[in-house]
Amino acid sequence: WIIWWISLWWLLSYLGIDWESLTIFAVVLCLDFIFWIADAYITDKKSVRSKKAWRWLFNKITKLLLPMIVVIVLKWVGFENMKPLISAIMGILIVSEWYSIIWHIYSVNTWKQLPEIDAFEMLVSKIWEVFKRLIKLFWSDLDSNDKDDQTL
């Protein structure tokens, strides 16, 4: 366990993801899981299955991996000081989970469903748009370097 924690600490330090954001996200995820189970149990006891819980857990872990993957790619491309971007991504993830908790609490108390807002999907689509622009810039820069090399 010690090696795992040291490795995680090193990775987060290298990526610039602060422990506070990660801790808040982890707490919100745990609360979301508790309220998700309560909502599912109260509204439809038959829907509470371990298979769904594992799927939920995998879904949340992949959400946690998103900021790490984005930062690794941007560092590889050469970007510096990504603290504002990391803070924005973590903030969106935390707010998304917070909305999910509110959604479950509302459902448990009223037996009605609020409209779903998938902030994570919006975040991923924006990140994808940025990556497409970066790839175009990268390729156009390579093309211009190739033309410069040919004129020499």
Cβ-contact 107, 40 below 8 angstroms:
no
- The predicted pLDDT at position 28 comes to 92
Q: How far apart are the first and last CA of the chain?
A: 57
Comparing CA positions, the residue from 28, 4, 134 lying closest to residue 90 is 28
**pLDDT tens-place values along the chain, 152 residues long:** 688 878 878 888 888 888 888 889 889 988 988 888 888 788 777 766 777 778 888 887 787 787 788 888 888 878 787 888 888 888 888 888 888 888 888 888 887 777 766 767 777 788 788 878 877 877 776 666 655 555 54
Which pTM value belongs to this model? Answer: 0.69
- The predicted pLDDT at position 149 comes to 52
Q: Give just the sign of the alpha carbon dihedral 89, 94, 98, 100.
A: positive
